[in-house]
């Protein structure tokens, strides 16, 4: 029978036991740190891949938060601009009601001057609203960029009022909308687009009536080329010529019931060449269709006489329309002049209100776009937060379970070490 002997080094055993206990203590400390922080990745060294994923998600969330703050600022500016356009519409509506009142045939010249003073106050209100700024001092209607006061005027004709900026509307993108609206489209007119012209009739003696309807564009192609020539000839100050229609001959006796009238048309600036005098015959007391103005037509109603004139001028802005109404109503010496001023003002104000309403509708579209962007960004934030949580957050149930298991193992290791440490040969030597 063979007997084997093995020699155990107690010092080596104790060193191994202490190292294992130290490792368990370190693991228990790490689990405790994870529980207190609520994260399974406290340092990048814990899990480099998860740490990178979490950092990337946090960066994207931070960028979304920045975009959302900018979007809120943009939304506030557009809300203010839309509200301001509503105030402009109300002021124009009040202006229109006063213009209708001025057409009352019982009013005297002094009454019309009083109304003109009221209209001046409303015009000033509209002009001030057009130059409004947001809470950051940015003009609400600066289009693609403008001075702090986008609209300048009144100045000497023909420019009258000008837009001191770059017309146009910047586009929205996937995370932003414009800060401002296109004030040029809202308040400035283009002759070939809007056909806003003011026709005034010279002084008419008592007992006669002579008035016109609104100017209309009959040939858009000719009107566009004429506008380009006028813009170049005036150095960019006038986008369409003005015309003076002067009656040089009127015959009502040669043919009973028929009036034969001859009129000349003077163009300023003269860009279309000389316009030959026109002779027309029409039933007495009926209307005359004036079609010799390039691209334009006008109907004259009443009883013309030699020396009567009709002046047709483009109105470059809603402010010009209001100024013309104030001037023509305030200076109307009789009912014929007042009727002409009121009819022209009403038609042109309606066109201007249509432009303002169109830009206000664009503001509503931008606000809807902002709501859509905000909703999409919120969804992305939720998704990115979920990605971050999966990468670095701790499953608390599993974390507590692991901690308790590690704690039990650590306690067992300590107790076993304490028991074994007491065993020694010297304990049995008396």
* Other beta carbons within 10 Å of 353: 17
To 10 degrees, the CA torsion angle through 78, 81, 83, 88? -160
More confident call, 395 vs 143: 143
The model's pLDDT over 399-428, given as tens digits with 9 standing for 90+, comes to 677 777 777 777 777 777 776 666 666 666
Per-residue pLDDT at 317 exceeds 90: yes
| DSSP secondary structure letters along 112-172 | HHHHHHHHHHHHHHHHHHHT-B-TTS-BTT-TT-EEEEEEE---STTT-SEEEE----PPP
The model's pLDDT over 147-174, given as tens digits with 9 standing for 90+, comes to 899 999 888 776 688 999 899 888 888 8
Summarize the confidence of residues 256-270 as an average pLDDT. Answer: 91
C-beta of residue 257 within 8 angstroms of C-beta of residue 281? no
In Å, how far from its chain's centre is CA 90?
Answer: 19
| DSSP secondary structure letters along 230-249 | HHHHTTSS-SS-EEEEEEEE
pLDDT confidence band for 334 (50 / 70 / 90): confident
What is the phi/psi pair of residue 106, to 5°? -85, -10
Token pair for residue 238?
A: 């006038």
Per-residue pLDDT at 229 exceeds 60: yes
Per-residue pLDDT at 119 exceeds 80: yes
Taking the C-alpha atoms of residue 54 and residue 65, their distance in angstroms, rounded to an integer, is 16
Per-residue pLDDT at 236 exceeds 90: no
Token pair for residue 401?
A: 């379970």
Q: What does pTM read for this prediction?
A: 0.80
Token pair for residue 226?
A: 């004429």
DSSP state of 317: B
Average pLDDT score, the chain: 86
* Other beta carbons within 10 Å of 304: 22
The model's pLDDT over 339-391, given as tens digits with 9 standing for 90+, comes to 999 999 999 999 999 999 999 999 999 999 999 999 999 999 888 888 877 77
User: 151 - beta bridge partners?
Assistant: 163
């Amino acid at each position: 029978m063979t007997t084997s002997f093995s020699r155990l080094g107690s010092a080596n055993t104790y060193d191994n036991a202490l190292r294992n206990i130290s490792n368990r203590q370190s693991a228990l400390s790490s689990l405790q740190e994870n529980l207190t922080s609520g994260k399974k990745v406290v340092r990048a060294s814990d899990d480099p891949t998860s740490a990178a994923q979490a950092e990337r998600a946090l960066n994207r969330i931070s960028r979304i938060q920045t975009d959302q703050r900018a979007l809120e600022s943009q939304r506030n500016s557009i809300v203010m601009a839309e509200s301001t356009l509503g105030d402009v519409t109300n002021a124009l509506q009040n202006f229109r009601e006063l213009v209708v009142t001025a057409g009352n045939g019982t009013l005297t010249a002094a009454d019309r001057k009083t109304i003109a003073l009221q209209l001046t106050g409303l015009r000033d209100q509209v002009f001030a609203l057009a130059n409004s700024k947001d809470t950051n001092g940015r003009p609400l209607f600066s289009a693609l960029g403008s001075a702090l006061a986008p609209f300048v005027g009144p100045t000497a004709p023909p420019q009258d009022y000008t837009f001191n900026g770059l017309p146009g509307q910047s586009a929205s993108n996937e995370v932003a909308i414009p800060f401002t609206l296109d004030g040029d489209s809202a308040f400035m007119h283009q002759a070939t687009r809007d056909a806003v012209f003011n026709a005034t009739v010279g002084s008419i003696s008592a007992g006669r009536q002579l008035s016109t309807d609104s100017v209309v564009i009959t040939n858009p192609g000719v009107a566009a080329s004429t506008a380009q020539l006028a813009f170049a000839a005036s150095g960019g100050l006038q986008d369409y010529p003005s015309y003076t229609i002067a009656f040089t001959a009127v015959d009502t006796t040669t043919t009973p019931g028929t009036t034969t009238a001859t009129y000349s048309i003077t163009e300023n600036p003269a860009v279309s060449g000389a316009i030959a005098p026109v002779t027309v015959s029409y039933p007495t007391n009926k209307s005359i269709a004036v079609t010799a103005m390039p691209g334009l037509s006008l109907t004259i109603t009443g009883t013309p006489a030699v020396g009567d004139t009709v002046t047709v001028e483009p109105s470059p802005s809603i402010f010009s329309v209001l100024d013309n109404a104030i001037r023509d109503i305030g200076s109307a010496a009789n009912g014929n002049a007042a009727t002409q001023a009121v009819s022209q003002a009403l038609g042109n104000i309606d066109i201007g209100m249509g432009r303002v309403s169109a830009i206000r509708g664009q503001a509503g579209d931008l606000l809807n776009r902002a709501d859509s962007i905000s909703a999409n960004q919120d969804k992305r934030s939720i998704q990115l937060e979920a990605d971050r949580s999966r990468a670095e957050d701790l499953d608390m149930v599993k974390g507590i379970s692991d901690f308790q298991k590690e704690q039990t193992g650590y306690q067992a290791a300590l107790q076993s070490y304490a028991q074994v440490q007491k065993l020694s040969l010297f304990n049995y030597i008396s």
